[in-house]
A and B are shown apart, each in its own frame.
Chain A
Amino acid sequence: MDRFEQELKDALKREPAPEWFAGAVMARVNAERQRKQKPVWSGWARMRWVAASMVLVAVVGGVRFEQDRRERVRGEQAKQELMAAFQVMGMKLREVEERVLPVIHRGEE
Protein backbone atom coordinates (compact mmCIF):
# COMPACT_ATOMS: atom_id res chain seq x y z
CA MET A 1 0.00 0.00 0.00
CA ASP A 2 1.63 3.12 -1.06
CA ARG A 3 1.20 6.50 0.58
CA PHE A 4 -1.51 7.67 -1.74
CA GLU A 5 -3.70 4.67 -1.05
CA GLN A 6 -3.26 5.13 2.66
CA GLU A 7 -4.35 8.77 2.45
CA LEU A 8 -7.40 7.84 0.38
CA LYS A 9 -8.34 5.11 2.81
CA ASP A 10 -8.04 7.53 5.72
CA ALA A 11 -10.15 10.12 3.96
CA LEU A 12 -12.93 7.70 3.12
CA LYS A 13 -12.94 6.08 6.51
CA ARG A 14 -16.45 6.00 8.05
CA GLU A 15 -16.63 8.07 11.18
CA PRO A 16 -19.62 8.32 13.55
CA ALA A 17 -21.47 11.70 13.56
CA PRO A 18 -20.75 13.94 16.49
CA GLU A 19 -23.24 13.72 19.33
CA TRP A 20 -24.60 17.23 18.79
CA PHE A 21 -25.41 16.58 15.09
CA ALA A 22 -28.66 14.61 15.49
CA GLY A 23 -30.02 17.14 17.99
CA ALA A 24 -29.17 20.05 15.66
CA VAL A 25 -30.83 18.38 12.68
CA MET A 26 -34.00 17.61 14.64
CA ALA A 27 -34.11 21.15 16.01
CA ARG A 28 -33.87 22.52 12.46
CA VAL A 29 -36.58 20.12 11.23
CA ASN A 30 -38.92 21.13 14.05
CA ALA A 31 -38.28 24.82 13.41
CA GLU A 32 -39.07 24.38 9.73
CA ARG A 33 -42.23 22.42 10.52
CA GLN A 34 -43.46 25.13 12.92
CA ARG A 35 -42.77 27.86 10.36
CA LYS A 36 -44.91 26.05 7.79
CA GLN A 37 -47.75 25.51 10.30
CA LYS A 38 -48.12 29.22 11.12
CA PRO A 39 -51.50 30.61 9.93
CA VAL A 40 -51.41 32.92 6.91
CA TRP A 41 -52.76 35.85 8.86
CA SER A 42 -50.64 35.77 11.90
CA GLY A 43 -48.33 38.51 12.98
CA TRP A 44 -47.91 41.32 10.49
CA ALA A 45 -50.33 39.79 8.02
CA ARG A 46 -53.05 39.81 10.65
CA MET A 47 -52.25 43.39 11.56
CA ARG A 48 -52.52 44.36 7.92
CA TRP A 49 -55.94 42.72 7.64
CA VAL A 50 -57.14 44.38 10.81
CA ALA A 51 -55.86 47.75 9.62
CA ALA A 52 -57.44 47.31 6.19
CA SER A 53 -60.77 46.31 7.78
CA MET A 54 -60.68 49.33 10.05
CA VAL A 55 -59.99 51.62 7.10
CA LEU A 56 -62.83 50.00 5.17
CA VAL A 57 -65.23 50.41 8.09
CA ALA A 58 -64.11 54.03 8.51
CA VAL A 59 -64.59 54.78 4.81
CA VAL A 60 -68.02 53.11 4.62
CA GLY A 61 -69.06 54.77 7.88
CA GLY A 62 -67.83 58.15 6.66
CA VAL A 63 -69.68 57.85 3.37
CA ARG A 64 -72.83 56.77 5.19
CA PHE A 65 -72.51 59.63 7.66
CA GLU A 66 -72.06 62.15 4.84
CA GLN A 67 -75.07 60.71 2.99
CA ASP A 68 -77.17 60.98 6.15
CA ARG A 69 -75.97 64.55 6.74
CA ARG A 70 -76.84 65.59 3.18
CA GLU A 71 -80.22 63.90 3.42
CA ARG A 72 -80.88 65.70 6.70
CA VAL A 73 -79.95 69.05 5.14
CA ARG A 74 -82.22 68.39 2.15
CA GLY A 75 -84.99 67.20 4.46
CA GLU A 76 -84.76 70.32 6.63
CA GLN A 77 -84.77 72.48 3.51
CA ALA A 78 -87.81 70.63 2.13
CA LYS A 79 -89.53 71.03 5.50
CA GLN A 80 -88.92 74.78 5.50
CA GLU A 81 -90.19 75.05 1.92
CA LEU A 82 -93.30 73.10 2.84
CA MET A 83 -93.92 75.38 5.82
CA ALA A 84 -93.48 78.42 3.53
CA ALA A 85 -95.89 76.89 1.00
CA PHE A 86 -98.50 76.29 3.70
CA GLN A 87 -98.02 79.86 4.93
CA VAL A 88 -98.72 81.22 1.44
CA MET A 89 -101.66 78.84 1.02
CA GLY A 90 -103.11 79.84 4.39
CA MET A 91 -102.72 83.53 3.66
CA LYS A 92 -104.37 83.25 0.24
CA LEU A 93 -107.24 81.09 1.50
CA ARG A 94 -107.85 83.61 4.27
CA GLU A 95 -107.89 86.47 1.78
CA VAL A 96 -110.30 84.60 -0.46
CA GLU A 97 -112.48 83.82 2.52
CA GLU A 98 -112.54 87.45 3.59
CA ARG A 99 -113.71 88.43 0.13
CA VAL A 100 -116.18 85.65 -0.44
CA LEU A 101 -117.79 85.04 2.96
CA PRO A 102 -119.64 88.38 3.18
CA VAL A 103 -121.09 87.75 -0.27
CA ILE A 104 -122.19 84.22 0.71
CA HIS A 105 -123.78 85.36 3.96
CA ARG A 106 -125.56 88.17 2.20
CA GLY A 107 -126.91 85.65 -0.29
CA GLU A 108 -128.09 83.30 2.47
CA GLU A 109 -130.12 86.02 4.09
Chain B
Amino acid sequence: MRTKLLVSLLAVAGVMVAQQVKLPPALDKLASKAKEVTTVNLGPEMMGLATKFMDAKKPDEAEVKKVASKLRGVYVRSYEFEKVGDYTEADFAEIREQMKSPEWTNIISNRSSKELSEIYMHKDGGMLILSAEPRELTVVNIVGNITAEDLGGLSGQFGVPNVVTRERPKAKAPAKQEEEEE
Protein backbone atom coordinates (compact mmCIF):
# COMPACT_ATOMS: atom_id res chain seq x y z
CA MET B 1 0.00 0.00 0.00
CA ARG B 2 2.76 2.38 1.01
CA THR B 3 4.78 1.46 -2.05
CA LYS B 4 1.80 2.22 -4.28
CA LEU B 5 1.32 5.57 -2.59
CA LEU B 6 5.00 6.40 -2.95
CA VAL B 7 4.99 5.39 -6.60
CA SER B 8 1.88 7.55 -7.18
CA LEU B 9 3.49 10.53 -5.47
CA LEU B 10 6.68 10.10 -7.47
CA ALA B 11 4.64 9.83 -10.65
CA VAL B 12 2.79 13.06 -9.87
CA ALA B 13 6.07 14.77 -9.01
CA GLY B 14 7.57 13.49 -12.25
CA VAL B 15 4.66 14.84 -14.28
CA MET B 16 4.97 18.24 -12.61
CA VAL B 17 8.71 18.37 -13.23
CA ALA B 18 8.11 17.47 -16.88
CA GLN B 19 5.67 20.36 -17.22
CA GLN B 20 8.14 22.82 -15.76
CA VAL B 21 10.18 24.32 -18.53
CA LYS B 22 13.85 24.88 -17.84
CA LEU B 23 14.27 28.59 -18.35
CA PRO B 24 17.74 29.20 -19.82
CA PRO B 25 20.20 31.46 -17.97
CA ALA B 26 20.42 33.58 -21.13
CA LEU B 27 16.85 34.64 -20.50
CA ASP B 28 17.57 35.95 -17.03
CA LYS B 29 20.60 37.85 -18.33
CA LEU B 30 18.22 39.89 -20.49
CA ALA B 31 16.96 41.56 -17.33
CA SER B 32 19.99 43.86 -17.29
CA LYS B 33 19.16 45.12 -20.81
CA ALA B 34 15.43 45.50 -20.25
CA LYS B 35 13.76 48.69 -19.13
CA GLU B 36 10.93 46.78 -17.51
CA VAL B 37 11.13 43.31 -16.05
CA THR B 38 8.44 41.04 -14.64
CA THR B 39 9.68 37.89 -12.98
CA VAL B 40 7.43 35.42 -11.21
CA ASN B 41 8.73 32.24 -9.63
CA LEU B 42 5.99 30.43 -7.80
CA GLY B 43 6.83 26.84 -6.97
CA PRO B 44 4.52 24.34 -5.26
CA GLU B 45 5.13 25.75 -1.77
CA MET B 46 4.47 29.36 -2.75
CA MET B 47 1.44 28.33 -4.79
CA GLY B 48 0.05 26.64 -1.71
CA LEU B 49 0.73 29.73 0.34
CA ALA B 50 -0.83 32.04 -2.25
CA THR B 51 -3.93 29.85 -2.39
CA LYS B 52 -4.15 29.72 1.38
CA PHE B 53 -4.37 33.48 1.63
CA MET B 54 -7.04 33.86 -1.04
CA ASP B 55 -10.54 34.40 0.21
CA ALA B 56 -13.04 32.21 -1.58
CA LYS B 57 -15.80 34.54 -0.40
CA LYS B 58 -14.36 37.51 -2.27
CA PRO B 59 -15.67 37.47 -5.81
CA ASP B 60 -12.36 38.65 -7.32
CA GLU B 61 -10.38 35.96 -5.53
CA ALA B 62 -12.76 33.00 -5.62
CA GLU B 63 -12.13 32.03 -9.25
CA VAL B 64 -8.39 32.66 -8.98
CA LYS B 65 -8.26 30.46 -5.88
CA LYS B 66 -10.14 27.72 -7.70
CA VAL B 67 -7.76 27.77 -10.65
CA ALA B 68 -4.64 28.30 -8.53
CA SER B 69 -5.47 25.30 -6.35
CA LYS B 70 -5.02 23.11 -9.45
CA LEU B 71 -1.60 24.56 -10.21
CA ARG B 72 1.77 23.50 -8.89
CA GLY B 73 3.80 26.36 -10.30
CA VAL B 74 3.69 29.58 -12.28
CA TYR B 75 6.83 31.00 -13.85
CA VAL B 76 6.93 34.24 -15.80
CA ARG B 77 9.72 36.13 -17.53
CA SER B 78 8.61 39.30 -19.25
CA TYR B 79 11.06 41.88 -20.58
CA GLU B 80 10.34 45.19 -22.23
CA PHE B 81 13.31 46.71 -24.07
CA GLU B 82 14.25 50.23 -25.13
CA LYS B 83 15.25 49.31 -28.63
CA VAL B 84 14.82 46.59 -31.21
CA GLY B 85 17.56 43.99 -31.22
CA ASP B 86 18.21 43.95 -27.50
CA TYR B 87 17.42 40.26 -27.61
CA THR B 88 17.60 37.59 -30.28
CA GLU B 89 15.84 34.31 -30.97
CA ALA B 90 18.90 32.55 -29.60
CA ASP B 91 17.95 33.79 -26.14
CA PHE B 92 14.81 31.63 -26.10
CA ALA B 93 15.91 28.92 -28.55
CA GLU B 94 16.52 26.54 -25.67
CA ILE B 95 12.89 26.84 -24.60
CA ARG B 96 11.61 26.07 -28.08
CA GLU B 97 13.98 23.13 -28.20
CA GLN B 98 12.32 21.70 -25.07
CA MET B 99 8.93 22.10 -26.73
CA LYS B 100 9.98 19.57 -29.38
CA SER B 101 9.47 16.85 -26.77
CA PRO B 102 6.47 14.62 -27.65
CA GLU B 103 4.88 15.58 -24.33
CA TRP B 104 4.30 19.09 -25.58
CA THR B 105 1.88 20.06 -28.34
CA ASN B 106 2.01 23.33 -30.18
CA ILE B 107 -1.62 24.44 -30.25
CA ILE B 108 -1.09 27.94 -31.62
CA SER B 109 1.79 29.35 -33.57
CA ASN B 110 1.66 32.73 -35.23
CA ARG B 111 4.70 34.18 -36.87
CA SER B 112 5.10 37.37 -38.82
CA SER B 113 8.27 39.15 -39.86
CA LYS B 114 8.37 40.98 -36.54
CA GLU B 115 6.49 38.83 -34.07
CA LEU B 116 6.28 35.31 -32.85
CA SER B 117 3.50 33.93 -30.68
CA GLU B 118 3.34 30.32 -29.63
CA ILE B 119 1.22 28.39 -27.16
CA TYR B 120 2.10 24.88 -26.13
CA MET B 121 0.08 22.47 -23.99
CA HIS B 122 1.62 19.63 -22.05
CA LYS B 123 -0.13 16.27 -22.31
CA ASP B 124 -0.76 16.37 -18.56
CA GLY B 125 -2.18 19.88 -18.55
CA GLY B 126 0.74 22.29 -18.27
CA MET B 127 1.03 25.27 -20.58
CA LEU B 128 3.71 27.48 -22.09
CA ILE B 129 3.14 30.84 -23.74
CA LEU B 130 5.96 32.36 -25.73
CA SER B 131 5.53 35.84 -27.15
CA ALA B 132 8.34 37.64 -28.90
CA GLU B 133 7.74 41.14 -30.18
CA PRO B 134 10.34 43.64 -31.42
CA ARG B 135 10.70 45.28 -28.01
CA GLU B 136 9.11 42.69 -25.75
CA LEU B 137 9.77 39.11 -24.86
CA THR B 138 7.45 37.10 -22.60
CA VAL B 139 7.54 33.51 -21.43
CA VAL B 140 4.76 32.13 -19.21
CA ASN B 141 4.96 28.58 -17.91
CA ILE B 142 1.98 27.15 -16.04
CA VAL B 143 2.61 23.88 -14.20
CA GLY B 144 -0.44 21.89 -13.17
CA ASN B 145 -3.72 20.80 -14.56
CA ILE B 146 -5.21 23.84 -16.26
CA THR B 147 -8.12 23.46 -18.66
CA ALA B 148 -9.85 25.75 -21.15
CA GLU B 149 -12.69 26.08 -18.62
CA ASP B 150 -10.22 27.26 -15.99
CA LEU B 151 -8.85 29.86 -18.37
CA GLY B 152 -12.41 30.91 -19.16
CA GLY B 153 -12.96 31.46 -15.47
CA LEU B 154 -10.16 34.01 -15.46
CA SER B 155 -11.52 35.89 -18.42
CA GLY B 156 -13.34 38.59 -16.50
CA GLN B 157 -10.57 39.54 -14.15
CA PHE B 158 -7.45 39.14 -16.23
CA GLY B 159 -8.74 39.52 -19.74
CA VAL B 160 -7.99 35.92 -20.64
CA PRO B 161 -9.91 35.13 -23.83
CA ASN B 162 -12.85 32.91 -23.04
CA VAL B 163 -12.40 30.26 -25.69
CA VAL B 164 -15.10 28.10 -24.14
CA THR B 165 -18.04 30.45 -24.39
CA ARG B 166 -16.84 32.50 -27.36
CA GLU B 167 -19.21 32.62 -30.29
CA ARG B 168 -17.97 32.88 -33.80
CA PRO B 169 -18.27 36.39 -35.22
CA LYS B 170 -20.81 36.93 -37.94
CA ALA B 171 -19.85 36.71 -41.58
CA LYS B 172 -19.13 40.40 -41.92
CA ALA B 173 -16.73 40.59 -39.02
CA PRO B 174 -13.61 39.29 -40.80
CA ALA B 175 -14.06 41.82 -43.59
CA LYS B 176 -14.04 44.57 -40.99
CA GLN B 177 -10.89 43.15 -39.41
CA GLU B 178 -9.21 43.05 -42.79
CA GLU B 179 -10.06 46.70 -43.30
CA GLU B 180 -8.52 47.48 -39.96
CA GLU B 181 -5.42 45.55 -40.83
CA GLU B 182 -5.05 47.53 -44.01
Binary interface encoding of chain A residues 85-109 relative to chain B, with 1 for a CB under 8 A from any of its CBs, else 0: 1111111111111011011011011
**Which of the candidate stretches A12-20, A34-42, A71-79 sits at the interface with the other chain?**
A71-79
Is B10 at the interface (CB under 8 A from chain A)? Answer: no
- Residues in B with CB closer than 8 Å to A78 are 42, 46-47, 49-50, 53
Which range holds the interface residue count of chain A? 20 to 34
Q: Which B residues, 133 to 182, have Cβ-Cβ distances below 8 Å to chain A?
A: 138, 140, 142, 151, 154-155, 157-161, 163, 168-169, 171, 173-174, 177-178, 181
Number of B residues with CB within 8 Å of any CB on chain A:
44
CB within 8 Å: A-B pair count: 113
- A100 touching B110, Cβ below 8 Å: yes
Determine the residue in chain B with the shortest Cβ distance to A78.
Answer: B50
- B74 touching A85, Cβ below 8 Å: yes
- B168 touching A105, Cβ below 8 Å: yes
Q: How far is the CA of A74 from the CA of B52 in the complex (A)?
A: 11
- Residues in A with CB closer than 8 Å to B76 are 84-85, 88-89
- Residues in B with CB closer than 8 Å to A96 are 108, 110, 117, 119, 129, 131
- B50 touching A88, Cβ below 8 Å: no
Grouping DSSP codes into helix (H, G, I), strand (E, B) and loop, the B interface class, with mixed when no group exceeds half, is: mixed
- A89 touching B108, Cβ below 8 Å: no
Q: How far is the CA of A82 from the CA of B151 in the complex (A)?
A: 14
B68: min CB distance to chain A, Å: 6
A78: min CB distance to chain B, Å: 4
Asked, given contacts A89-B140, A89-B158, A106-B174, whether A99 binds B115 with beta carbons under 8 Å apart, the answer is yes
Is A66 at the interface (CB under 8 A from chain B)? Answer: no
Q: How far is the CA of A97 from the CA of B53 in the complex (A)?
A: 32
Q: How far is the CA of A81 from the CA of B75 in the complex (A)?
A: 10
- Residues in B with CB closer than 8 Å to A97 are 161, 163
Is B27 at the interface (CB under 8 A from chain A)? Answer: no
Asked, given contacts A85-B42, A90-B160, A93-B160, whether A100 binds B117 with beta carbons under 8 Å apart, the answer is yes
Q: Which residues of A contact B (CB under 8 A)?
A: 71-72, 74-76, 78-79, 81-97, 99-100, 102-103, 105-106, 108-109
Listed A/B pairs (18) with beta-carbon separation below 8 Å: A75-B50, A78-B47, A81-B41, A81-B74, A82-B68, A88-B140, A89-B158, A91-B159, A92-B117, A92-B131, A94-B159, A94-B160, A100-B117, A102-B178, A105-B174, A106-B174, A106-B178, A109-B171
